[in-house]
Structure 1
Amino acid sequence: MSNPNPFQTTLGTDAQWVVFAVMALAAIVFSIAVQFRPLPLRLTYYVNIAICTIAATAYYAMAVNGGDNKPTAGTGADERQVIYARYIDWVFTTPLLLLDLVLLTNMPATMIAWIMGADIAMIAFGIIGAFTVGSYKWFYFVVGCIMLAVLAWGMINPIFKEELQKHKEYTGAYTTLLIYLIVLWVIYPIVWGLGAGGHIIGVDVEIIAMGVLDLLAKPLYAIGVLITVEVVYGKVGQGGSLAFDCLKILKWWKLLWFQLVSIHFSLCVCRVTSYFLLN
């Protein structure tokens, strides 16, 4: 099995700094913009501020620790660096990316729960597979892909079931954004299979590919979501049925506040984990 460039170099680190800068800039721009938006639109802004802030934190941790070349999986010729901070990022940001779309629907809580559960399981199988040596890693890869198919099926349901649709104005944009996100999320396991899984591409190439996907799936996707809610809100108006009531905003704000607090926790986890792995 080939294993080109099994460790991160300055090329990968530079790419991580670039992604960090873009994510941080997006978070700052969204944070400024939300101050001038009406209350019913602010929840979506907060979700995407959290996404970009968490991603920026993760990429900062990756760039700072990238030169340590640890932790690794395998030994000898098969040894390869595992960029574990990206999985910590995904555990927090992928549910929020789905939440962007969930807020455009009338999904029941039970449905949201198993979709989010499948999402977290997908990430968990990804990181376990990355640290697994030999052909056993492909078991985790396949199960992770099954989890992706499960959550994709759940997210597709509102397109065809009217009872899950919030408003006809949302349906077209929801479909477009969902297809865009699913296509990107299908590319992620392909890159994983070529990198952490198959050792066909080097760590630097994997970092660059994942970074491009993260930029497309986070700040660019966020712009599409924000344009959607702005346009629909403009059509329906402040008195329309799409406006969120204050209690619902407060309910979701508690969730987002927890996610924002977890940003600092995730950075601490990265630091503590690095300490134990490097010593």
Structure 2
Amino acid sequence: MIGSGNQALSDNNVVGQHANLEITSHASDWYYAVCAAMGASTLIFMALAFRKPQNDRVFHYITASITAVACIAYFAMGSNLGQVPIQAEFIRPGNKWVRSAGTREVFYARYIDWVITTPLLLLDLLLTAGVPTPTILATILADEIMIATGLIGALTRTRYKWGFWTFGMAALFFIAYELLFDARRHAQTLGGDAKKTFMLCGVFLISIWFLYPVAWGLSEGGNVIHPDGEAVFYGVLDVLSKPVFGFLLIWGHRKISSSSVGLRIRDRSQITSEKYNHGNTQQYGVHPEGPGANVGSHPATTTGHATHTNV
């Protein structure tokens, strides 16, 4: 007879190796709840995207991608998949939560999620502020270093894991500097709704991100809290930094066009129209400036400012 309720842990007990200390059905239920929240947020963000012109949907698509990837990762963790047992550095026999630990499960699925979604979160913010491409690339590289060092540290048994934690913290401080100082200056130059949205979402996100190293230190790092507590800690942070952040950002962008933050994105109708007009210009000798222009005139023989036409 098939049992009722969440059977994920028993169903997947034969998949891979398992640690002495791993999640219970309570954490599995929580992970599935967060998975549902991420999935629902994705559908809402996509629905809101279709209310905007095609060339103004970039932030909706980026934000929906973040929650979509997180939805898959949380499904894996709720199913107790995407994990590996790692020998805990600290054995705490006096701690009632982790005293059974010899090995502790580490969800590498979580880091796969982060290595995809955290650069997209930064992209949302940096594009909103109109930050130059080289700065965006440097900030995203620091983010990738932060996630990679976090994973390597989590998979390391010895005290050397804290060296990787330190590298990750250095990368986080660099990201914070770029957001709070460099990107903020660009946002102030733009002004208006773009500045307000960046300031609100930027401070909100970086405040949450500084709690992740604390969660890491209490779970994968220091083996202080049970994997169920780890699930709640990380889950709350992810809900705040993905769906809640996403709704704040999309709400702020309701009156912001892509062009106002320096993005030149053409939709299909614009491309077709430009090709049609360019074809007429070449075939019939129609001057781009319209009727009444001197078709045979040369810019070198005229005075004043030259006219540039985007094709």
> Which region of structure 1 is more displaced relative to structure 2, 73-82 or 182-191?
73-82
Return the match for 2:163 from 131, 136, 139. 139
**Conserved 8 A contact 1:129-1:137:** yes
Q: What letter corresponds to residue 72 of structure 2 in structure 1?
A: T
Residue 136 of structure 2 is matched in structure 1 by 112
The Cα offsets for residues 3-62 of structure 1, whole Å up to 9 and x where unpaired, read as xx8211111111110000000011111122211222343111101110011000111111
Return the match for 2:61 from 36, 46, 51. 46
Return the match for 2:35 from 16, 20, 23. 20
Q: State percent identity of aligned pairs.
A: 32
TM, length-normalised to structure 2: 0.71
Return the match for 1:155 from 175, 179, 182. 179
The Cα offsets for residues 228-275 of structure 1, whole Å up to 9 and x where unpaired, read as 111445xxxx9x74584325x89xxxxxxxxxxxxxxxxxxxxxxxxx
Residue 264 of structure 2 is matched in structure 1 by 245
| 1:201 partnered with 2:220 | no
Correspondence 1:1-279 to 2 at 5 A: 6-66=21-81, 70-74=83-87, 77-158=101-182, 161-162=185-186, 165-233=189-257, 241-242=260-261, 244-247=263-266
**Conserved 8 A contact 2:146-2:168:** yes
**Conserved 8 A contact 1:188-1:210:** yes
The Cα offsets for residues 164-204 of structure 1, whole Å up to 9 and x where unpaired, read as 84344322321121111011000011011011101110111
Partners of 2:27 and 2:157 in 1: CA distance: 23
TM, length-normalised to structure 1: 0.78
**Conserved 8 A contact 2:129-2:187:** no
Partners of 1:84 and 1:72 in 2: CA distance: 10
Secondary structure at the residue paired with 1:7?
Answer: coil
Secondary structure at the residue paired with 2:128?
Answer: coil
Higher share in helix: 1
Q: What letter corresponds to residue 69 of structure 2 in structure 1?
A: I
Instruction: Give the alignment's Cα RMSD to 1 decimal.
Output: 2.4
The Cα offsets for residues 97-136 of structure 1, whole Å up to 9 and x where unpaired, read as 0111111122222111110000000000101010101211
**Conserved 8 A contact 2:146-2:172:** yes
Secondary structure at the residue paired with 1:71?
Answer: strand
The Cα offsets for residues 136-188 of structure 1, whole Å up to 9 and x where unpaired, read as 11111111111000111112234553588434432232112111101100001
Secondary structure at the residue paired with 1:81?
Answer: strand
Partners of 1:159 and 1:115 in 2: CA distance: 10
**Conserved 8 A contact 2:142-2:175:** yes
Partners of 1:37 and 1:156 in 2: CA distance: 29
Which structure has more relative contact order (CA 8 Å, sep 6+)? It is: 1
**Taking structure 1 as reference, are residues 215 and 162 closer, same or farther at Cα in structure 2, changes over 3 Å only?**
closer
Bigger radius of gyration, 1 or 2? 2
**Conserved 8 A contact 1:41-1:230:** no
**Conserved 8 A contact 1:129-1:141:** yes
**Taking structure 1 as reference, are residues 242 and 139 closer, same or farther at Cα in structure 2, changes over 3 Å only?**
closer
**Taking structure 1 as reference, are residues 160 and 220 closer, same or farther at Cα in structure 2, changes over 3 Å only?**
closer
**Taking structure 1 as reference, are residues 162 and 103 closer, same or farther at Cα in structure 2, changes over 3 Å only?**
closer
Partners of 2:166 and 2:261 in 1: CA distance: 39
